[in-house]
Structure 1
Amino acid sequence: MRNLKLLGIFCFLFIGGTLMAQNGSTMVGGAEMYPSKNIVENASQSNDHTTLVAAVKAAGLVETLQSEGPFTVFAPTNAAFEKLPAGTVESLLKPENKEQLQAVLTYHVITGNFGAKDVVAAIEEGDGKATFETVQGGKLYAMMEDGKVKLNDASGNDATVTTADVNQSNGVIHVIDTVVLPGK
C-alpha cells in the first residue's frame, strides 16, 4: 500500500515529461531549476545544457542573460547540438566566429516572458501558426503538432518543446530538441 501511495505521488509530480520537485521547482538535466535564480544560474546546473552554457560564455552573452529581462529562451539540449553537422559546434566556439555564435544563440531568445499558455494562445490567435521576433532580429514560427509546440526556423528546421515553463527570475526557459537557426 505504501509503495502504491509513493508511486501515485511520483506520477502526480511527473508532469508532461518534466519532473517537479516537492518545492515546486522543475527538474531539468538532473538539477532543480529554481524560479528565484536567473537563466544562466539555472542552465549552468543542468547536465543536459552544458554545450549551451559553454556557447553562451564563448559568445559573451552571460551578462545579458543574467540581466533583468524578461526573456523567453528556447534552450537546446546537448543532444540537440549533437544533431548539427560534425564540426559545427567546434567551429562556432572559435573566437573568430563569435558574431555568428551570437546570432545563433540570440535567435533562441524572445524578449518578454512567454509561458506555454502564451505561446499556445498566440498559435490559436494566428489560426494555427504564431510568429515571434527573436532578439537576433529573425522570425521564429510556432505551431501545434500532436499536442506539442513545434518551432520552425528560417532555415526550415523543426524543433519540439520537450519541457515547457521552466520559470526563472528573469523569464522562462522552454527546452527544445533541435537547434534552431537563423536564415542566411
Structure 2
Amino acid sequence: MELLQSSNASTLIQLLRLAELDTLLADTGPYTLFAPTNEAMDELVKRLGGPQQMLEKMGKPNLVKLLLYHVMRGFTLEEDLRDDVLGRTLAGGRLRINQHRVASSSTSSSTSSSSGRRRLVTTVNGARLVSGPRLAENGALFSVSAVLAPPQPGVLAALNADPLGRFTVLLQTLRLAGLHDQLQHDEAGPVTLFAPTNAAFATVPERQLRRLLGDRRRLRRLLLGHLATGCLYSARLTDSGPVNTLAGSQVTVSGSPEHLTVDGISVLLPDISTENGVIHAIGGVIGRHRTSSETSSGASSGMSSDTSSETSSETSSETSSETSSETSSVTSSRALSGRAA
C-alpha cells in the first residue's frame, strides 16, 4: 500500500478500501500488483458515477473480483515477464503477458529495452506496461495503461456474452462451417479472431451469402481468413506487418491501436480478452469480394477441381436439409440485423 500511495494511485487505493482489500495487500503477501494508471482508473470510476456508486452498481463481490484480478501471488520481476506467459491471479483468472518489438520511434513503456532500432514492449491482457517493477517487502508493483477486466472463458463464450448481441450471425456461420467445436475453450488457442458483426454480414448481398452458406468448404475457408494463431492485441498489430491467417492468406493491418483497419475494414472494438485468445470486432467481412469472384466464376476458378464435384456430393448427401434450414436461419438473422443497423 505504501508503494501505491507514493505512486499517486489515489483512486485505486479508495476502491481497495471500499472492497476491504487494503489490509490484505498491506499485511500479507508477497504479491505482484498490476495497478492501472490513475487516469485509466478515473475514467472507469467516472463512467460509473464515482467510487461509492461503482461499489453499489457492481456489488462488493464483483468489485473484489475485479480488483483481485490485478494481483498475483509472489514477486514478479521484469525478467519474469515473457511472451505468452500466463499468470494466475487471486481472482482465479489468468493474466496473459505478451512481448513484441516496435520501432524505436513508437510509443513504448518506460520498462521497454532497446535492441538496435527496435524496443521491447510488454503488455498485460493487451494493456501496455507503463512502469515497474517497484519493490517492497511484501511484493512488486507494476503500472499498466488500462483496467484489466476478467476475461470470458473462451472465444465462443465472449461472442455469446456480447451485451448487444452483435455476433449472432458469426456464431451461426462458425457452427455451419464446423469451426464452432474447434474454438471451444479446452480445444483451441491462443487465437486471434477478427469478428464481423451482424451489421457487417448485412452488407453481403443475399444471393452471395446464400451461395456461400451452401458451400461449407468455401465458408470454412472464408472464416479461417478471420483467424490467426496467437494473441495479437492491438498494440502488437500496429507494428506486426502482414498477419498470416489460418486460411493460408494474409491480412494487412494499418493505423494506431485506437484506429485500426484490417484489409481496409475498420476495427470497431479491439482487444476483447478471452482465456484462449483475443477478439477484434470489425465492420466488414474479410475476403468477401474474393469469395464473390470465386462464386461467380464457377467451374473456371482454381477452386473447381478441388471442391466443385466433391462439394456438390457432400452438400447433397450430408448437408442438404440441414444446410437449407441453417441457411434460412442465418439469412433471417442477417436481415434482422440489417434492418436494425
Normalised TM-score (structure 1):
0.72
Rate the CA distance shift 1:10–1:143 in 2: closer, same or farther, 3 A.
same
Q: Which residue of 2 aligns with 1:119?
A: 237
**Offset at 1:34?**
5.7
Distance in 1, matches of 2:225 and 2:278, equals 15
Q: Which residue of 1 aligns with 2:279?
A: 173
2:283 corresponds to 1:163: no
Which is helix-richer, 1 or 2?
2
Structure 2 alignment gaps of length 5 or more: 1-43, 51-61, 70-148, 295-341
Q: Which residue of 1 aligns with 2:250?
A: 139
Q: Which residue of 2 aligns with 1:100?
A: 218
Distance in 1, matches of 2:48 and 2:278, equals 24
Contact 1:38/1:168 (<8 A) preserved: yes
Q: Deviations over 1:30-75 (max 9, x none)?
A: xxx9614111122123310000000000001012111231100000
**Offset at 1:7?**
8.6
Distance in 2, matches of 1:171 and 1:140, equals 18
Contact 1:34/1:42 (<8 A) preserved: no
**Offset at 1:83?**
0.7
Distance in 2, matches of 1:34 and 1:87, equals 41
2:46 corresponds to 1:8: yes
**Offset at 1:147?**
5.0
SS at match of 1:160: strand
Amino acid at match of 1:135: L
Normalised TM-score (structure 2):
0.40
Rate the CA distance shift 1:178–1:121 in 2: closer, same or farther, 3 A.
same
Rate the CA distance shift 1:145–1:171 in 2: closer, same or farther, 3 A.
closer
Rate the CA distance shift 1:147–1:70 in 2: closer, same or farther, 3 A.
closer
Amino-acid identity (%): 26
Contact 2:235/2:257 (<8 A) preserved: no
Indicate which of 88, 96, 106 corresponds to 2:208. 88
**Offset at 1:170?**
0.6
Contact 1:111/1:135 (<8 A) preserved: yes
Contact 1:70/1:112 (<8 A) preserved: yes
Q: Which runs of 4+ in 1 moved over 2 A?
A: 6-12, 21-25, 86-94
Higher relative contact order (CA 8 A, sep 6+): 1
**Offset at 1:146?**
10
**Offset at 1:161?**
0.6
**Offset at 1:11?**
8.4
Rate the CA distance shift 1:164–1:11 in 2: closer, same or farther, 3 A.
farther
Rate the CA distance shift 1:167–1:74 in 2: closer, same or farther, 3 A.
same
Rate the CA distance shift 1:7–1:35 in 2: closer, same or farther, 3 A.
closer
Distance in 2, matches of 1:172 and 1:9, equals 24
Indicate which of 42, 45, 48 corresponds to 2:161. 45
Q: Which residue of 1 aligns with 2:99?
A: none
Structure 1 alignment gaps of length 5 or more: 1-5, 13-20, 26-32, 123-129, 153-157
SS at match of 2:219: helix
Contact 1:93/1:101 (<8 A) preserved: yes
Amino acid at match of 2:219: L
2:220 corresponds to 1:109: no
SS at match of 2:231: coil
SS at match of 1:44: helix
Q: Deviations over 1:67-117 (max 9, x none)?
A: 2311000000000000112233333222xx000100110000011110111
